[in-house]
Structure 1
Amino acid sequence: MDEEPHAFENLVAKAQRSGDADSLRIGSAGSERSCSSEASAIAAGKELSESPQSSRPQSLGIYVLEPLILILLFAYNFSSTVLKNKVIYQSCTAGLGYPDSVCQLLGTKNATNETMKIEELVQPYAAKVTLAMRLVECFIPAFCGLFAGSWADHFGRKPLLMCSFLGYGLQYLISSAIDYCAMHTQGLVSPWWYVLSIVPLSCMGSSVTYSVAAVCFIADVSDGRARSYRMIAYELAIYVGLLLGSLGSGYAYEATDAYIVFSISSVCVFTALFLMALLLPESLAVGNRTLSTSSTGTSVLSMLKSLWKTCSKPREHQNRFMLTTIMAVLLLTAFVSDGSNAVFYKFMRIKFHWTVKEFTEYETVGILVPAVAGSGGVFFIWSLRKCTKSAVLWLALVSLMSHCASSLMKGFAWESWQIYVAIGLGVFKSLVNPMCRSMITNLLPADERGKVFALLGVLQALSPLLSSTLYVAIYTQTLNTEPGIFNVFSAFLFGIGIILLGYVALSNIQLLSHMYSLLNISARFGTKSREIRCSMSQFLNDR
């Protein structure tokens, strides 16, 4: 059998089938062959019962998901920095009443000492508008996310994906109309109108619905061997989409205007929505869907009970502990990402006086390096798999360390080039999400993934309520002294994540050592304990 990265990993650390064969050899050769055949039959039966792709032929349409996610993230990042810039500009004109000629100089190389002082007054006002947008984007999607998993398990994955894409398309369409009006009134349109553009997106679940549906789709169409690759491909699609959006945003904004940028994002999302309706198949077979026995089976109370029962029920082999800890790590990374994104652009403007183009160029490099080097890191860590025993878990740990080092460098940076050094230190930061998601999907059966990822999505959607508020408070309080201190706080939170994953690694090693001991003890009983040895061997293979 050809070895590949993660080829023998199914959960956290899967026993090797070649290099460690001697340590797992128990009983006679005939017993080994019988055990192997029985274990294979068990695994085959499990795959047939859980994987829809095993009961029906797959179409090439299952590979359309990643390009569609790429288009969505391109549209998002194409408009993201421009939207932040327009909020600051309209906070200056309509919010605080400064002349248009003065506010046009904010965030440019033509800024004077007077405009720099004005920006120090404008930024706290703009931060409140941005915070309000984040809060609206949290409350409603969090409520929708409570049912996203149940809806995905009941109606399928594709409807949720289409709803989310439609919401993003409407957001950029409304933002385009708002900026068009502002352009013809010298900026005298309140920046609070941008909060309105978030409402349709929030009502359709925002990133909660598409992330839950996308991860469940990948879990449906791939088995344990290929799932890590699809998760990495999904994460790389996100990074490439963000990269392309950031690369073109600054140039498009300089050549045209903000309403053109928003219009391009809207057209891209609606095009992706059309392609999704046309090409993407439904991944969840009808026979694997959660069926209701009555008309109230999909009611609010029923869905809440089902969600809580699925996420809190006891699981064997410390799986519930591992599941909870890995989810906590993902929540920490989302908490830091949401909080940092709320203030980082403002930090770069006030600290280094970067323009929109300079910031988008930095974003381009910041996305490209982790995307390329992160994929190479998979093969680097895999080359050490005989030492680590668990490439997926160690990739996640290395990624968190990379996050921590990058945040520290940003926090103590005094020159612009040091921000680019932080990109180099964060070279592996793109790997923590796909690795943790891969571990979660391998811990769960197919009919429970939607609910668990829905709970995770809800918690991640609610995290900006605290993270954005906290980071904005830290930033505004340290604006006149050391505005980059929030980066040090981010490094501290990543350090907590490293400790949590380290505890999972330690627990996994102890559990595997215990199971190896049981295997050695069972070997003394010979062929009479064949069933026990077969079940243990299968357990080790699943780890």
Structure 2
Amino acid sequence: MTDILHNVVPVTESSSDINKNRRRSISNFIELPLLLVMVSLSIAGCAVSNIMLYRTCVNALHYSKEECEPYLSPVKNNETIHLEASVQGYYTYVSTVKSILESVIPMVLSLFLGAWSDTYGRKPLIIWPIFGFVATGMLIVIYSLVESLGPWWYILTSVPFAMTGGYVILFTGAYCYMSDISSLETISLRMTMIDATISSGTVIGSILSSYLILYLGNVNTLLICVTLIVTAYVITRLCIEESLTGALQGGASKVLDLLLVKDMFRESFKKRPNYGRTLILLIAMIKMLLIIINFGLGSLEYLFTRQKLNWSLQHYTTYSAVTTTISFFGSFFGVMIVQKLLRIGDIQFTIIAVMSTIGEYIVKTCAVAGWYMYLGAVVSVFRGLPGPLTRSFLSKILPVQDIAKIFALLCVFEGSAPVLSPLIYNSLYSATVARMPAAIYLLSIGLAGASVVMLGFVQYYFRKGLRYETLHESL
């Protein structure tokens, strides 16, 4: 999920000079509300999956409550094995519509809000999505209490989430906020802290979810999640100060300014020396493909492990926590040690990282036992690096004044990925769940392979351009 969050405006020297002496305190410690949000969403996602599988089984497919009751438990048994194919197949259609709704509107908002926040501040970009999460959380609790509501009613709970920007706007605001309060010397560390907060919240939520559901039930677990998000909202509203010096108040009526979009596209697609435009477009397409893979597998891997490996929610959340932890430490180890010692360029290391994920997908395609999933996670230890490495590459070859516009373009490409991903992956899984559920990994191998080929062209055009003129610095 974090790749889509990285494309934000990096700190410039002028903005850093204004805020470089600002010390960390509760007034700018955005990691705390961010952690609470991530823990809450991670826990809620597991509870909602159980409820949705049960509602699909009872309300949509009209099986008896006794047959479908095991879906509400985080402990998997064989009682629903004869239902898995039909229930999961139907559920993926609902999930597809929900994913599209939660992706299209934030994608459109991302065209405007990045530049808008340069005038009206970063704090609204953090507050608005958290408020949307609160509203969506309350609607989900209501939905979970009314047992007569079928799975399609669940889509309505996503409306506040989507209208306030969702994950994209929240993390764009968080990264911009962090860049405002950081000096050039501390920006890398503080950006890393945002990534660490995201990963930590996801891991903590994954570990806690199955135990909370088992001992408190799905509804009570969702109430705890809403409480956590409300706490995050209160902290952000009352304690967090605006980071942008001289930010204007209000401005909500000026969010949808088409001139900002026009300027972004003009600068992004203009012809540049040394194959600059080709490099930008290739990287944009590569990042879109990788996000399609991440979103596609992220929404279906739990269903795959239920169907293929007979995993319980508790098994899957433990695996998810281990995978996230391996990826987190692998990224730090890769950038801070491997890349520096071996002097590997950004694009070269990105190729290695993507190829490691191909190895992971090959292992999981052959999975017949749980240890295959863990082996795949170890094989792809560098899976978290393509996002930051490609962003680093662009930062080095682009003029400072163009970086914001190019990153906004990347947001558009990556924002389209969650729209395309469920259409591709959910449709494939629905068609193959009964006979070959691992087909989603074969598709991922193909898309990742295409990304490697395009990365090869990026490296070729970059080196070819260096023969005539050094763009910024040799990687």
Give the equivalent residue in structure 1 for 2:58: 93
- Looking at structure 2, the residues matched to 407 and 48 of structure 1 have their Cα atoms a distance apart, in angstroms, of 36
Given that 2:212 and 2:221 are in contact with CA atoms closer than 8 Å, whether structure 1 keeps it comes out as yes
- SS of the residue corresponding to residue 384 of structure 1 reads helix
CA distance in 2 between counterparts of 1:270 and 1:157 reads: 20
2:6 — aligned with what? Answer: none
Does the CA contact (< 8 Å) of 1:231 and 1:437 recur in 2?
no
CA displacement at 1:228 relative to structure 2: 4.0
Query: Which shows bigger deviation, 322-331 or 166-175?
Result: 322-331
Residues 435 and 276 of structure 1, relative CA distance in 2, 3 Å threshold: farther
Q: Which segment is superposed worse, 257-266 or 348-357?
A: 257-266
Distance in 2, Cα, partners of 1:95 & 1:137? 22
- 1:347 equivalent in structure 2: 304
Opposite residue 17 of structure 2, the aligned amino acid is: S
Superposed, which structure 2 residues align to 1:306-321 within 5 Å? 306-321=263-278
Residue deviations 1:413-451 (CA, integer Å, cap 9, x gap): 111111111111121112222223333455566765554
- In 1, Cα distance between equivalents of 2:129 and 2:401: 22
1:213–1:450 CA contact under 8 A, matched in 2: no
Unpaired segments of 5 or more residues in structure 2? 1-9
Alignment of structure 1 residues 11-410 onto 2, 5 Å = 50-56=13-19, 57-61=21-25, 64-106=29-71, 108-112=75-79, 115-182=80-147, 188-222=148-182, 226-286=186-246, 300-385=257-342, 387-388=343-344, 390=345, 392-410=346-364
Map Cα deviations across residues 175-233 of structure 1 (whole Å, 9 max, x no partner). Answer: 11211233xxxxx3212221111000100011221232233334444466654444433
Q: Distance in 1 between matches of 2:83 and 2:253?
A: 57
What residue identity is the alignment partner of 1:456? L
1:21-65 Cα deviation digits (max 9, x unpaired) = xxxxxxxxxxxxxxxxxxxxxxxxxx9974312134323158623
Distance of aligned partners of 1:60 and 1:441 in 2 relative to their CA distance in 1, 3 Å threshold: farther
Counterpart-to-counterpart distance in 1, 2:224 and 2:407: 31
List per-residue Cα deviations over 1:104-140 (Å, max 9, x = no partner). Answer: 134754433xx32222222221111111211211222
Q: Distance in 1 between matches of 2:272 and 2:241?
A: 32
Give, in whole Å, the separation in 2 of the partners of 1:328 and 1:110. Answer: 42
Letter in 2 for 1:411: T
Structure 1 counterpart of 2:438: 484
- Cα distance in 2 for partners of 1:86, 1:453 equals 38
Q: Given the superposition, is the C-alpha separation of residues 233 and 49 from structure 1 closer, same or farther in structure 2, using an over 3 Å criterion?
A: closer
Whether the 8 Å CA contact 1:81–1:356 is kept in 2: the answer is yes
Contact 2:210/2:313 (<8 A) preserved? yes
CA–CA distance in structure 2, aligned partners of residues 181 and 413 of structure 1: 38
Provide TM-score, normalisation by structure 1: 0.77
Letter paired with 2:444: S
SS at match of 1:348: helix
Looking at structure 1, the residues matched to 397 and 374 of structure 2 have their Cα atoms a distance apart, in angstroms, of 38
Contact 1:381 1:395 in 2 (8 A): no
SS at match of 2:83: helix
Q: What are the superposed Cα offsets for residues 297-322 of structure 1, whole Å, 9 maximum, x if unpaired? A: 76543233233223323445544333
Contact residue 175 and residue 259 of structure 1 kept, 8 A: no
Q: Does the 8 Å contact 1:381/1:394 carry over to 2?
A: no
Residues 223 and 326 (structure 1), Cα distance of their counterparts in 2 relative to 1, 3 Å cut: farther
Task: Specify the SS of the correspondent of 2:434.
Answer: coil
Out of 376-385 and 327-336, give the one that drifted further.
376-385
Q: Is the 8 A contact 2:11 2:179 kept in 1?
A: no
Structure 1 gap ranges (5+): 1-46, 183-187, 517-535
Contact 2:11/2:187, CA 8 A, preserved across alignment:
no
Query: Residue 247 of structure 1: CA displacement?
Result: 0.7
Q: 2:382 corresponds to which residue? A: 428
Which whole-Å CA distance do the structure 1 matches of 2:319 and 2:277 have between them?
A: 40
Matched letter for residue 280 of structure 2: L
- Cα distance change, pair 54–109 in 1 and its aligned pair in 2 (3 A): closer
Residues 212 and 457 of structure 1 are in contact (CA less than 8 Å); yes or no, is this contact kept in structure 2?
A: no
Is residue 224–residue 442 contact of structure 1 (8 Å, CA) maintained in 2?
A: no
Contact 2:11 2:184 in 1 (8 A): no
**1:524 corresponding residue in structure 2:** none
Classify the secondary structure of the residue corresponding to 2:70.
coil
Identity percentage over the alignment? 25
Letter in 2 for 1:268: L
Q: CA deviation at 1:281?
A: 3.9
Q: How many aligned positions are there?
A: 460
Q: How far did 1:468 drift?
A: 0.6
| CA 1:261–1:449: 2 relative to 1, 3 Å | farther
RMSD between aligned residues: 3.0
Contact 1:52 1:283 in 2 (8 A): no
Higher gyration radius (CA): 1
> Is the CA contact (8 Å cut-off) linking 1:141 and 1:206 kept in structure 2?
yes
- Distance across 2 between alignment mates of 1:279 and 1:501: 44
Q: Answer with 435-444 or 158-167: which moved more.
A: 435-444
Stretch of structure 1 that moved more, 212-221 or 164-173: 212-221
Name the CA shift for 1:407/1:181 in 2 (closer, same or farther; >3 Å). Answer: same
What secondary structure is seen at the aligned counterpart in 1 of 2:108?
helix
Q: Which moved more, 1:300-309 or 1:358-367?
A: 300-309
Q: State the Cα distance separating 1:377 from its structure 2 match.
A: 2.0
Q: 3-state DSSP class of the match of 1:60? A: coil
Partners of 1:49 and 1:345 in 2: how far apart? 41
1:460 CA drift (Å): 2.5
Specify whether residues 285 and 313 from structure 1 end up closer, same or farther in structure 2 by C-alpha distance, changes over 3 A only: farther
